[in-house]
Amino acid sequence: MIRLVVGLGNPGKEYERTRHNAGFWLVERFAQANGMVLRKDPKFKALVGKNAAGAWFLLPQSFMNLSGQPVQMLAGFFKIKPEEVLVVHDELDFAPGVARIKQGGGIAGHNGLRDISQRLGSHEYWRLRVGVGKPPVGTEGGDYVLHKPSTEERALIDEAIDRSLQVLPEMLKGDMQGAIHKLHSGEPKTVEKKEAPVKEPEIQPEPPKATEPKKSGLLGSLFGKK
């Protein structure tokens, strides 16, 4: 059972539409759809809400690299174990339109996950990873996530969030495998573009070499020999 859902992002108007706030977007959409109010709680340094079933929802209002403190404080206060926590965050390794669920694993350089893992003393919380795409060559990941996605990318991210919201009730009830199967199998087939296999170039036979026409007569006797 999931007792705490954490959406990761950065507070402030200048960040609200950036890729790094994908976790905020999902929790905000859930709250709006379910009539749940997210109130600022100075004690937890976060926006906090609670749904009808008793699960807590939290948006840290510290910056991304300090996300773990509000999570640690609320989880500790209500005695919530790491495996009862779901963290929703942006994922550079997935294209826009992809969303995946997993438990534990590495943090892949994500500052929010790093701080949460350190504060909870565990990697065993659940993650809902919302794809935002890889940065272009020559662009740092940290800079890329602090920019807005294109209109087309945002539409795909919103579709992935919609599919994630459909399985969130199952996750809250503890049916993690059911949620994983439903979310992953429902992913559009065209989202992840696989690289086409490299086709070996066909070896074309070399064209016959042009032969110098044979000289005859007087010209042949004059220029035919070197």
What beta strand segments (E) does 104-222 contain? Answer: 126-131
Q: Which residue has the tokens 């996605």?
A: 149
From 20, 89, 123, 147, active-site residue: 20
- Sign of the CA dihedral 116, 25, 184, 2? positive
Other C-beta atoms closer than 10 Å to the C-beta of 172 total 18
Placement of tokens 């809902």 in the chain = 128
Give the integer Cα–Cα distance in Å for 190 and 212: 57
Q: Residue 6 pairs with which residues in a beta bridge?
A: 58, 87
Assigned token pair, 157 = 């991210």
Residue 110 bears catalytic tag: no
Catalytic sites, residue numbers: 20
